[in-house]
């Protein structure tokens, strides 16, 4: 009887345990480093911290910091309003498709016709 009771307790213990569901989907909110741009130009790789975009979903503002101020910039340093619908974010009237691959954020603007594809990683 004692073995049966132990077996039942161990079985209930395993049934009560489940996989950790605390993993969350990536979110646009927060600070992102632009690390790669692909467009009709040659691909450009940036160092972390050179082009930083901080998305605030509460205010629908993105703050862009370009360090150093280079010729190739998607947006000048400053703050911009944005709107989000489904998987599209519109910044300065430019609609970008956005999606995540793992921990990487991608913003694309018609890449099929050589529009820019922007790759970001979290700070």
Domain residue spans of the chain: 26-122
Q: In the chain, which residues have pLDDT < 50? A: 21-22
- Phi, psi (deg, nearest 5) at residue 10: -65, -40
- CB-based burial of residue 44 (10 Å sphere; 0-12 exposed, 13-18 middle, 19+ buried)? middle
Q: Which residues contact 113 (CB under 8 A, 6 or more apart)?
A: none
pLDDT (0 to 100) of residue 82: 96
Residue 21: per-residue pLDDT: 47
Residue 32 confidence (pLDDT): 96
| pLDDT for the residue 12 | 54
Closest CA to 38 of 123, 121, 115: 115
- From the CB of residue 120, how many other CB atoms can be counted at a distance below 10 Å? 23
> Does the domain formed by 26-122 have CATH 2.40.128.270?
yes
Residue 86: the pLDDT is 85
- In contact, 22 and 15? CB cutoff 8 Å: no
User: Backbone dihedral region of 93: left (phi > 0), alpha (psi from -120 to 50 degrees) or beta?
Assistant: left
Rounded Cα gap, residues 33 and 24, in angstroms: 20
H helices within the chain, ranges in order? 2-16
């Amino acid at each position: 009887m004692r073995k049966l009771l132990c077996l039942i307790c161990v079985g209930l213990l395993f049934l009560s345990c489940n996989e950790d569901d605390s993993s969350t989907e990536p979110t646009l909110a927060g600070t992102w480093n632009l690390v790669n741009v692909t467009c009709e130009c040659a691909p450009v790789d940036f160092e972390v911290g050179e082009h930083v975009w901080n998305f605030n979903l509460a205010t629908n503002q993105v703050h862009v910091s370009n360090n150093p101020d280079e010729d190739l910039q998607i947006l000048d340093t400053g703050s911009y309003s944005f709107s989000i619908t489904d998987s599209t974010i519109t910044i300065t009237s430019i609609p970008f498709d956005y999606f995540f691959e793992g921990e990487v954020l991608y913003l694309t603007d018609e890449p099929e016709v050589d529009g820019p594809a922007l790759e970001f990683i979290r700070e």
